[in-house]
Structure 1
């Protein structure tokens, strides 16, 4: 097996944390990025590097560029997994609330992708994690105006990037996830029991990130076995 160089954001818990485990166990080199680097640091894999990273801080992107330049030279896969979720009635959702959510879910995805692009191989793969709430025509839930609209934005962004780089690569795809049992879901919807675990979803995303670009580019895939 050819080991890949893989960058994953939002790795301190939930799906991102499981993704780091799965891909590292398969022998891939993983750069795990999250505001809290401690959970991944505790894994103590030789092929995992992690440091504290905030999608909202411009100076943190330089750390990623420096690491790739020094240690890897190229990137095979970028998984934009980090996300901010806000559950609040629209009438109470301020401009600052929207800015906070969009800074992570849209601007952070765009900037991380832009910074990593020069290192991505032509057969590389950028996978962005969206939500069923961001899919036009899907069931919508009150209180998620900032979150779901931001997740819709990255679907369109993915389509645009695939078109812009279709002659040179890499490939860009977006996965719109249904409800997954994570700490973030519990915080937003206390007591709700999702039909899919973080590990189960991470196994799917890991496989898709490694192989999905053979069959898809510029596509939004709905990964959901439930209404949300």
Structure 2
């Protein structure tokens, strides 16, 4: 860690975002949690504080660019984890319409762009390096082979891979690294509501996040998407 390591985590109230927040805070990171559900953010923040960690919460939606920029400006992170996402549902022929498709992209793609853009502009203006980890999915690599009916989600996660590669090029001259992870299914509230209960836990994915954040381990790596497979996939 360096420069008073501070990480802003979107989707910080649940799933991989919450797991990463707890683990990184325990390792000494100052953590900012951004998400739509205040109750979930407060619960994670309470866990971190009870363990002696430093945390701030920002109850905002990543689709709102001005709100995201304000949170970035206030928190001044040295790293960002973009874990906010919605699954969406509906077969593209039968029930998935333009509005439903756009809603998923607004969170998963636009939200990731909004956070990356605000952080990268802040770092460039301050002449600081920075590290971004975006969360794609194996669905963004091979589509929803196992669970058809999630076309909007698969499209959004494919977009994250391309966005990560493009932003890595934009950030290279400013020592800003942008990478992504593409995990398979993990145990989350989102999947539990569908009756799907994978064995893989969000905590199992955090070591890969940590690897990408630690320059002593991942060095100059940027523009890369790391696939994370498990027996659930």
TM range (shorter): 0.7 to 0.9
Task: Quote the RMSD (CA, aligned, Å).
Answer: 2.1
Q: What's the offset of the Cα at 1:51?
A: 2.3
User: Runs in 1 of length 4+ with deviation above 4 angstroms?
Assistant: none
Structure 2 unaligned regions, length at least 5: none
Is the contact between residue 181 and residue 197 of structure 1 (CA under 8 Å) also seen in structure 2? Answer: yes
Select which of 140, 145, 158 maps to 2:151: 145
Matched, 1:204 2:204: no
More strand by share: 1
Match of 1:217 among 205, 208, 222: 222
Q: How does 1:17-96 map to 2 (within 5 A)?
A: 17-36=18-37, 37-43=41-47, 44=49, 45-68=52-75, 72=76, 75-91=77-93, 92-96=95-99
Structure 1 CA distance, aligned partners of 2:17 and 2:199? 18
Is the CA contact (8 Å cut-off) linking 1:40 and 1:50 kept in structure 2?
Answer: no
- 8 Å contact kept, 1:29–1:48: yes
Secondary structure of the structure 1 residue equivalent to 2:197: coil
SS in 1 for 2:203: helix
Cα distance in 2, alignment partners of residues 137 and 86 from structure 1: 14
SS of 1:82's equivalent in the other structure is: coil
Q: CA deviation at 1:227?
A: 6.2
Give how far 1:124 is off.
Answer: 1.8
CA distance in 2, matches of 1:158, 1:209: 15
Question: Given that residues 79 and 209 in structure 1 are in contact (C-alpha distance below 8 angstroms), is that contact kept between their aligned partners in structure 2?
Answer: no
Q: 1: distance between equivalents of 2:148 and 2:141? A: 15
How many matched pairs?
A: 221
| 2:103 paired with 1:100 | yes
What is aligned with 2:165?
Answer: 159
- Residue 109 of structure 1: aligned partner: 112
Structure-1 separation of matches of 2:18 and 2:171? 30
Conserved? CA contact 1:22–1:203, under 8 Å: no
Range with bigger deviation, 1-10 or 16-25: 1-10
- 1:58-108, Cα deviation, whole Å (9 max, x unpaired): 44224314413xxx4xx3211001001013211210111111100010001
Q: 1:67 to 1:227 in 2, by over 3 A?
A: same
CA contact 1:179–1:226 (8 Å) conserved in 2: no
With normalisation by structure 1, the TM-score equals 0.87
Question: Are residues 77 and 222 of structure 1, via their aligned partners in 2, closer, same or farther at CA, if it must alter by over 3 Å?
Answer: same
